[in-house]
Amino acid sequence: MLSAEQYIESLRDVKYKVYLFGELVDNPVDHPIIRPSINAVAKSYELAGEKQHEELMTVKSSLTGKRINRFTHLHQGCEDLINKIKMQRLLGQKTAACFQRCVGFDAFNAVDSVTCEMDHELGTDYHKRFRDFLLQVQEKDLVVDGAMTDPKGDRSLRPHQQADPDLYLRVVDKRSNGIVVRGAKAHQTGALSSHEILVMPTVAMGEEDADYAVSFAVPSDSPGITYIYGRQSCDTRKLEEGTMDVGNCRYGGHECLVVFEDLFVPHERVFMCGEYSFTAALVERFAAYHRQSYGGCKVGVGDVLIGAAALAAEYNGAAKASHVRDKIIEMLHLNETLFACGLACSGQGAPTASGTYLVDMLLANVCKQNVTRFPYEIARLAEDIAGGLMVTMPSEKDFRHPLVGPLLEKYLKGVGDVPTEHRLRVLRLIENLTLGAAAVGYRTESLHGAGSPQAQRIMIQRQGNLEEKKKLARIIAGIEKE
């Protein structure tokens, strides 16, 4: 397995074609806006190398028997699913940001089970191809970007009906040695922290959409791939001197629009090509795994936000107020409820035909539905406790200024024995988590990540077995015999 330092150095060999603020970036690894997200991924390598976290962060590979980073593992039981959630909470606590390896992790497990079933039914060899790819990922300890979301264009139209056919990624040519694809993947978390990209279809396809039913893996710097870096609120603060105004002094996350311009993919890296009848299973399983993930990662970040709110209350001199204590209790209640949902869908997992375990899909969708709501209330309560200074305080440059700095030191003081700077730093952290760059990985992403709230509600309806519940009621009411 790689160390954190080896991981960072390995990215220097990946020749990304990335645009940020209208300019081609020569050195993404050391760019001050991009580097915090790389630091967050590096934390997953750092913790894997620490004895105290070894059982959580690493596991014996089901393919080789060697110890690997858990983020490259195929779940072999409910214990693996539960440890995944615990690992994600730990990383959320350590980074207070999106650590970006979950999407690829969830994609591995979804693609593994679906390709196995494709091979059994169709006689293809996709499953072997995928496992050969995953063996390389495990052996080299790679980060893989799981790429599902297409731009989608007009949401009322199917992929093949779009005025611009490239608004869903598709196969544009089939050759004797591979395929050529064109399109884009949007909102790609951790794309510039990844060595490889694992592409999946974004919706269930019909026969007319067969060209869009495609899954494959390619190196992140393959010819034909362009990255356009997504903006975040307060992102240019990372270009300034000092760390206080950034809030999170070291870690962050990022998203990119990833454009595929007539990209060639060799056959051995293709895991679906036209088998549209299997797209629904792949999309639903990936979504279930990823909705499970939010019961871990968002909870860990929530732990930091709750801690910051409690510190703000102390520094403001309001920690003993009954209404403040009650608000913190509510934040704890909401956060642990999310964790309970993540554990529940993991503990009710079951094996698929490939041997890889799948979460309980109903409970995974319930987990994510709660995530679309509870972090907003946790953030609101944190902002309430923090007070208005969180969004009105002057800059760190003012605080360091020889003339106005002493005025800020004097008039922004809270509790007497707490340095003013400590108070301001905690408020900036709360701002970062609720309004700033980290809000992408906590507040707003809690709503849209792993699918919109309506997507979970559709799956809850499908998985809820309402007819069985109606039958139970008929029996109890004496309408029907048991």
For residue range 311-326, what is the model confidence (pLDDT) as tens digits? 999 999 999 999 999 9
Assess contact for 218 and 14: CB atoms under 8 A. no
238 and 349: one domain?
no
CATH number at residue 291: 1.20.140.10
Annotated active-site residue 256? The verdict is: no
Residue where one domain finishes, among candidates 237, 261, 280 = 280
Assess contact for 145 and 191: CB atoms under 8 A. yes
Q: Please tell me the predicted confidence (pLDDT) of residue 268.
A: 98
Q: Please tell me the predicted confidence (pLDDT) of residue 438.
A: 76
**Structural domain includes residue 481:** no
Choosing from 284, 383, 431, 445, which is the catalytic residue? 445
175 and 242: one domain?
yes
**Structural domain includes residue 446:** yes
> Does position 439 have pLDDT exceeding 80, yes or no?
no
Q: List the helix and strand counts (H, then E) for the chain.
A: 16, 14
Q: Please tell me the predicted confidence (pLDDT) of residue 246.
A: 96
- Using a 10 angstrom Cβ sphere, with 0-12 exposed, 13-18 middle and 19 or more buried, the burial of residue 349 is buried
Closest CA to 181 of 189, 190, 172: 172
Which 3 state secondary structure label does DSSP give 123?
coil
**Structural domain includes residue 271:** yes
Choosing from 98, 116, 341, 345, which is the catalytic residue? 98
* CA within 13 Å, CB half, 92: 27
**Structural domain includes residue 477:** no
Choosing from 102, 116, 256, 345, which is the catalytic residue? 102
Q: How confident is the model at residue 330 (pLDDT cuts 50, 70, 90)?
A: very high
> How does strand 196-199 pair with strand 144-147?
parallel
Mean pLDDT confidence for 235-240 = 96
42 and 187: one domain?
yes
- Specify which residues 263 forms β-bridges with: 181
**Structural domain includes residue 95:** yes
Annotated active-site residue 290? The verdict is: yes
Q: How far is Cα 363 from Cα 369, in angstroms, rounded to an integer?
A: 10
78 and 149: one domain?
yes
Q: Please tell me the predicted confidence (pLDDT) of residue 436.
A: 87
What residue numbers bound the domain in which 140 lies? 4-280
**Structural domain includes residue 119:** yes
Residue where one domain finishes, among candidates 280, 298, 315 = 280
**Per-residue pLDDT tens for 269-287?**
999 999 999 999 999 999 9
267 and 285: one domain?
no
Q: How far is Cα 414 from Cα 265, in angstroms, rounded to an integer?
A: 60
Percent with pLDDT over 70 in the chain: 100
Q: Please tell me the predicted confidence (pLDDT) of residue 133.
A: 98
**Structural domain includes residue 116:** yes
> Does position 144 have pLDDT exceeding 80, yes or no?
yes
464 and 360: one domain?
yes
370 and 254: one domain?
no
Q: How confident is the model at residue 242 (pLDDT cuts 50, 70, 90)?
A: very high
231 and 253: one domain?
yes
267 and 352: one domain?
no
Choosing from 168, 187, 255, 372, which is the catalytic residue? 255
Annotated active-site residue 189? The verdict is: yes
Assess contact for 363 and 459: CB atoms under 8 A. no
Q: Please tell me the predicted confidence (pLDDT) of residue 15.
A: 98
User: b/e map of 21-41 (b: 16 or more CB within 10 Å)?
Assistant: eeeebeebbebebbbbbbbbb
Annotated active-site residue 297? The verdict is: yes
Task: Work out how many domains the chain is built from and give that number.
Answer: 2
Choosing from 78, 297, 341, 345, which is the catalytic residue? 297
Annotated active-site residue 448? The verdict is: no
Q: Please tell me the predicted confidence (pLDDT) of residue 244.
A: 97
Annotated active-site residue 294? The verdict is: yes
Q: How confident is the model at residue 405 (pLDDT cuts 50, 70, 90)?
A: very high
Q: Please tell me the predicted confidence (pLDDT) of residue 55.
A: 96
Q: How many CB atoms lie within 10 A of CB 391?
A: 13
398 and 257: one domain?
no
**Structural domain includes residue 478:** no
Which two structure tokens, joined as six digits, stand for 245?
A: 């105004």
Residue where one domain finishes, among candidates 280, 308, 340 = 280
Q: How confident is the model at residue 440 (pLDDT cuts 50, 70, 90)?
A: confident
Closest CA to 280 of 361, 370, 371, 360: 361
CATH number at residue 158: 2.40.110.10
180 and 308: one domain?
no
Mean pLDDT confidence for 125-134 = 98
Choosing from 72, 95, 149, 189, which is the catalytic residue? 189
83 and 165: one domain?
yes
**Per-residue pLDDT tens for 461-470?**
999 999 999 9
